[in-house]
Amino acid sequence: MNFEALAIVNENNKKVLKEREAKKLKNRIKKLFKK
């Protein structure tokens, strides 16, 4: 694997992690409002 391909994969992984964190935060907020 060349460096450029690795960089692209790394960027995609960061995006996925951010999306997962955003979902976790949304779920937490929903739980707080339901109380």
Spatial distance between the Cα atoms of 18 and 8, rounded to a whole number of angstroms:
16
How would DSSP label each residue in 1-35?
--HHHHHHHHHHHHHHHHHHHHHHHHHHHHHHHH-
pTM of the shown model: 0.61
Give me the residue spans of the domains in the chain.
1-35
pLDDT confidence of residue 29? 93
**What are the average pLDDT values for consecutive 10-residue runs of the chain, which has 35 residues?**
88 97 96 87
pLDDT confidence of residue 2? 84
Kindly report the CA angle at 21 between 20 and 22, in degrees rounded to 5? 90
pLDDT confidence of residue 35? 73
Spatial distance between the Cα atoms of 13 and 15, rounded to a whole number of angstroms:
5
Spatial distance between the Cα atoms of 21 and 5, rounded to a whole number of angstroms:
25
